[in-house]
Structure 1
Amino acid sequence: MQHRKKPAQHTNSKGKSAQRMGSIRIISGQWRGRKLPVLSADGLRPTTDRTKETLFNWLMQDIHGLRCIDAFAGSGSLGFEALSRGAKSVTFIEKNAAAVKQLKSNISLLKVNNEQAQVHLGEAADFFLQSPSQAYDLIFVDPPFGKGLVGPTLTKIVEKGWLTPTGLVYVEMEQPAPLAIVEPWQPLKTKETAGFCYQLLQLSPD
């Protein structure tokens, strides 16, 4: 779902540099079937429709009214899907300025207000170092593969109190997964493919 390289560029017929564009599709909810423009660049991997459908089937109706974070947002595929399905708000975190600009453009395109969607330019690791004013219900953690970011991100989420006691974290990582999910995390759902695996996690009860 995320990119971690500078967006690829090409030269148009007038000799000016321009970014290549692709699109993502919202599967269900108020914007069902809507396509949104996104950067198409090396390292940008929007979550596939099949994976996204599996995740939101896991969540069922639990998405309605939730406060969410789309960490390592990239295209914002998961965050926009959550908003479409009734999430109360989504905070997008993305370090690439061009991707952030596109996220803001799509928020405007969907006529989403500032209370429903916020975009933070910066590293997710730095964002989670601070303490939140209020804990979140659902956090999407889909970092670039091969960077070892899942473990440290989960640790910061717990240490700084980013998740409500009954909150959920979605994790997507490369396969074979380099990280065994251990306490205080409890895997609720897990699915593996040839290239990656993904899980829905919850904090273990005390």
Structure 2
Amino acid sequence: MRVISGEYGSRRLKAVPGNNTRPTTDKIKEGMFNLLGGYFDGGNVLDLYGGSGALAIEAVSRGMDLAVITEKYRPAIQTIKENIAITKEEEKFVVLAGDNRNALNKFRNQQPTFTFDLVFIDPPYHKQTIEADIDWLEDQNFLNEDTIIMCESDDQTVLPEDMHGWELYKEKHYGQTLVRLYHRRKQVDE
């Protein structure tokens, strides 16, 4: 596993030990960022199910300003911290340990107006909560008008094209993995 491109390009990343996480392969990660347009001009990114932290690290490598990573599995948290250290820019990352919603609520208390421009939602395939996660992030005002939400799931997971004001605008299959991009549905003046 490695950082594909950008400032940290080609740096090796550690995988989380054991079988409790499912790392996104380099091929899928490269495809995901190509769907997003490749590079960014600042902004805040949330990796809601951190795993190794690879998606957040890739996003910062490609130009995001700050990444917030939530993770509850202790060995994964340690791996995330080790992978962030590889960037030598630890100040660009916030790691929130514990249940993602509780951790984000605590973060919200310290940063009351903070929003994310890009959100990765990649829950364990057998525990799909993508719709509920988007609704919760919306209810907590973590999403702004231009937020892009990237969801990764197995190809058996059915998600609607319109999720409570968020519409699907791109999707791509990578074997048994399905990546979907959502943005806020624009209101049409009548």
| CA 174–159 in structure 1, closer or farther in 2 if over 3 Å, else same | same
- Name which of 32, 51, 67 aligns with 1:90: 67
Equivalent in the alignment of 1:167: 147
Alpha-carbon separation, structure 1, partners of 2:11 and 2:86: 11
3-state SS of paired residue (1:192):
strand
175-184 vs 75-84, greater mean Cα deviation: 175-184
State the 1:196 CA deviation: 2.5
Equivalent in the alignment of 2:97: 121
| CA 62–31 in structure 1, closer or farther in 2 if over 3 Å, else same | closer
- Name which of 166, 177, 181 aligns with 1:196: 177
- RMSD across aligned C-alpha pairs, in angstroms? 1.8
State the 1:128 CA deviation: 5.0
Superposed, 1:1-206 pairs within 5 Å as 24-60=1-37, 63-114=40-91, 116-128=92-104, 131=108, 132-182=112-162, 183-206=164-187
Equivalent in the alignment of 1:8: none
State the 1:125 CA deviation: 3.4
State the 1:205 CA deviation: 1.6
State whether residues 168 and 183 of structure 2, in contact with CA within 8 Å, keep that contact through their aligned partners in structure 1. yes
State whether residues 170 and 198 of structure 1, in contact with CA within 8 Å, keep that contact through their aligned partners in structure 2. yes
Alpha-carbon separation, structure 1, partners of 2:159 and 2:60: 30
Q: Gaps spanning 5+ residues in structure 1: where?
A: 1-23
State whether residues 53 and 83 of structure 2, in contact with CA within 8 Å, keep that contact through their aligned partners in structure 1. no
Which of the pair is proportionally richer in helix? 2
Query: What is the CA deviation profile of residues 100-121 of structure 1, one whole-angstrom value per residue up to 9, with x for unaligned ones?
Result: 122112222321132x101000
Q: State the TM-score, normalizing by the size of structure 2.
A: 0.87
State whether residues 128 and 153 of structure 1, in contact with CA within 8 Å, keep that contact through their aligned partners in structure 2. no
- Percent of aligned pairs sharing the same letter: 28
Number of positions where the alignment pairs a residue of Structure 1 with one of Structure 2: 182
AA matched with 2:138: V
Alpha-carbon separation, structure 2, partners of 1:64 and 1:188: 21
Larger Rg, first or second structure (1 or 2): 1
State whether residues 125 and 154 of structure 2, in contact with CA within 8 Å, keep that contact through their aligned partners in structure 1. yes
3-state SS of paired residue (2:88):
coil
| CA 133–50 in structure 1, closer or farther in 2 if over 3 Å, else same | same
Which of the pair is proportionally richer in strand? 1
Query: What is the CA deviation profile of residues 128-167 of structure 1, one whole-angstrom value per residue up to 9, with x for unaligned ones?
Result: 5575531110010000012131111011111111111011
Alpha-carbon separation, structure 1, partners of 2:85 and 2:154: 33
State the 1:47 CA deviation: 1.0
